[in-house]
Amino acid sequence: MKALTFMQSHNIWADSVTYSELLKCCISRGALREAKLVHKHIFSNGYHPKTFLINTLISMYVKFSLLDDARKLFDQMPERNVVSWTTMIAAFANAGLGYEGLRFLVLMGRDGVRPNMFTYSSVLRACSGLESLKQIHCGIVKDGLDSDVFVRSALVDNYAKWGELGNALVVFNEMETRDLIVWNSVIGAFAQNSDGDEALNLFKRMKRCGFMADQATLTSVLRACTAMALLELGRQVHVHVLKYNRDLILSNALLDMYCKCGSMEDARFEFSRMVEKDVISWSTMIIGLAQNGFSHEALEIFQVMKSSGTKPNYITVLGVLFACSHAGLVDKGRSYFESMEKVFGIKPGREHYGCMVDLLGRAGKLDEAVELIHNMEPEPDAVTWRTLLGACRIHRNMDLAAYAAKKWEDAAQVRKAMKGNNVRKEPGCSWIEVNKQIHAFILRDNSHPQIDEIIRQLNHYVQRLKGVGYVPDTNFVLQDVEGEQLEDPLLYHSEKLAIVYGLMSLTKGKTIRIRKNLRICGDCHLFAKLLAQMENRNIVIRDPIRYHHFQGGVCSCGDYW
């Protein structure tokens, strides 16, 4: 403003370029009041601002989140160019008004203004469905704008957003020039859609093309390792991470990787040396500790978190309740649950109720658990009933089990109907990392090159275990509802094959780490427990829900899962 007054006092009139510079200055300093004064000044003295200056004004209001003011200016413009339209479309997309953004694309066409690559990359962010995405894609090709990196990048992101990873990859592969951001985009897309394998392939391709990974790349690669529980590869990525420091997101991803790979020593070390911690860091650690069977430590960390001044959120409280249920701390869990709204301002959601059902059910308070389900505000779903069913199995309450099973089935039906009728049951699959190679064992699939030797060894171990009291247990009717199918021979469940392969190929003393796509069945659990003791080995099995650390004949889950 001083500049403006100075110019006036010397009788120099500002032109559109000067005004525009002044506005940019206001935006960078966050000075809305001054920007408004400039706005007023522009429209005084009969000055006719050029289109680009009004565009700057619009963008100023957008940056201050004053969409209505921006819209008003836009409506009053004598003529609008591509930039005017694009600025509005981008603003709508950012404000979550995608529909309005798409409407503006049509309107600009009627106004005789042709969209350019800037327009399309904003329109793509406004896009709210696969159908419109395909239409926009056609428009891009028709307008000959599909070679722009930004547009392609937005297309890749969008296809990934709607689960169309194949299309995302096609669009990506067709690109003539790629930059680091597109690489990060496509790697992130696969990592987020739990296709860690493809994410890691792309990462290798990227390096072959001569690109240097940055924090965003490494974060996605870590996420892929995390999903696949690849500890060794994760450690390698960690070495790259050391080249960068103080990126909170990356540190959080690293922390989660160690937790999910079941290596709590590394996780604790990483956590202790993080200079900056946010709610995600704390939650990751709390959940990681709880899932790996260190509930008391998780609750201690929660206390430290509160005194550090970081406010817990929905997910943090979930981790805390999970820790309580895991350690059987009924009173503590109940008091956290009952006070969470008052103390932390977080309304209990379905997942919090689920944790409480788990906690109460596990402690044998089945009546209280049922009462909680009946009175809960969010609608109980299949998972809620499945939790109660698990508790019934532990406490051998057949009547309640039948009731829970019925309700579970009803809820699952609804879910099935929503998803469409072709929900196929996945075959059981386990993975183990040996010498940085992933070995997959799939039920009824004998393609592993050493399968004959593995089965021979497995039979051998089973015979020896029978000598110390192992009885293959086929009676898991209630518990096995989401596990491997009953008619499948228990003996060849994939985790057994993976464990035996681990014993065969990993050096003595090395922990055997296995990841599984389905929940472990009781027989395999017993098998792992006894084998860990007999062979004096640590075995860690991660199923979709929790971790089992087998050591010296016991499991960290306390035989409840």
Partner DNA sequence: GTAGATGTGA
Query: What residues from 64 to 123 belong to the interface with DNA (CB under 7 A)?
Result: 81-84, 86-87, 90, 116-122
Q: Scanning residues 325 to 354, which ones bind DNA (CB under 7 A)?
A: 351
Would you count residue 266 as binding DNA (CB under 7 A)? no
Separation between Cα atoms, residue 165 and residue 323, nearest integer Å: 36
In the bound state with DNA, the residue whose beta carbon lies nearer, of 132 and 153, is 153
Would you count residue 494 as binding DNA (CB under 7 A)? no
Separation between Cα atoms, residue 60 and residue 53, nearest integer Å: 10
Whether 540 contacts 512, CB under 8 Å:
yes
Would you count residue 263 as binding DNA (CB under 7 A)? no
Q: Scanning residues 37 to 56, which ones bind DNA (CB under 7 A)?
A: 50-52, 55-56
Contacting residue, 137, 223, 439, 513, with DNA by CB under 7 A: 223
Separation between Cα atoms, residue 124 and residue 158, nearest integer Å: 7
In the bound state with DNA, the residue whose beta carbon lies nearer, of 285 and 526, is 285
Would you count residue 146 as binding DNA (CB under 7 A)? no
First to last CA, the chain: 67
Separation between Cα atoms, residue 381 and residue 353, nearest integer Å: 11
**Window of 71-79, 187-195, 472-480, 491-499 that interacts with DNA by CB under 7 A:** 187-195
Host H or E run for residue 393:
helix 382-395
Q: Buried b vs exposed e over 291-305: b needs ≥16 C-beta within 10 Å? A: bbbbbebbbebbeeb
Would you count residue 192 as binding DNA (CB under 7 A)? yes
The binding track of 385-424 with respect to DNA, each residue x by CB under 7 A or -, is ----------------------------------------
Contacting residue, 22, 42, 108, 125, with DNA by CB under 7 A: 125
Count how many residues are written for the chain: 561
Separation between Cα atoms, residue 474 and residue 273, nearest integer Å: 47
Radius of gyration of the chain (CA): 29
In the bound state with DNA, the residue whose beta carbon lies nearer, of 316 and 397, is 316
Contacting residue, 167, 215, 263, 384, with DNA by CB under 7 A: 215
Q: Tell me how many degrees the CA angle 135-117-71 measures, rounded to the nearest 5.
A: 85
Contacting residue, 197, 232, 278, 535, with DNA by CB under 7 A: 278
Minimum Å gap between C-beta 528 and DNA is 22
Would you count residue 216 as binding DNA (CB under 7 A)? yes
- How many residues touch DNA under the rule CB under 7 A: the total is 72
The binding track of 292-331 with respect to DNA, each residue x by CB under 7 A or -, is ---------------------xxxx-xx------------
In the bound state with DNA, the residue whose beta carbon lies nearer, of 70 and 443, is 70
In the bound state with DNA, the residue whose beta carbon lies nearer, of 254 and 490, is 254
Minimum Å gap between C-beta 350 and DNA is 9
The binding track of 233-252 with respect to DNA, each residue x by CB under 7 A or -, is --------------xxxx-x
**Window of 133-141, 149-157, 298-306, 432-440 that interacts with DNA by CB under 7 A:** 149-157
From residue 97, how far is each of 91, 128, 139 by CA, in Å? Answer: 8, 10, 21
> DSSP state, 426?
P
Q: Is the dihedral of CA 307, 309, 314, 316 positive or negative?
A: negative
For 20-59, the three-class secondary structure string (H helix, E strand, C coil) is HHHHHHHHHHCCHHHHHHHHHHHCCCCCCCCHHHHHHHHH
Q: Scanning residues 427 to 466, which ones bind DNA (CB under 7 A)?
A: none
Within a 10 A sphere around the Cβ of 202, how many other Cβ atoms?
A: 25
Whether 535 contacts 508, CB under 8 Å:
no
Would you count residue 188 as binding DNA (CB under 7 A)? yes
Q: Scanning residues 4 to 33, which ones bind DNA (CB under 7 A)?
A: 17, 20-21, 24
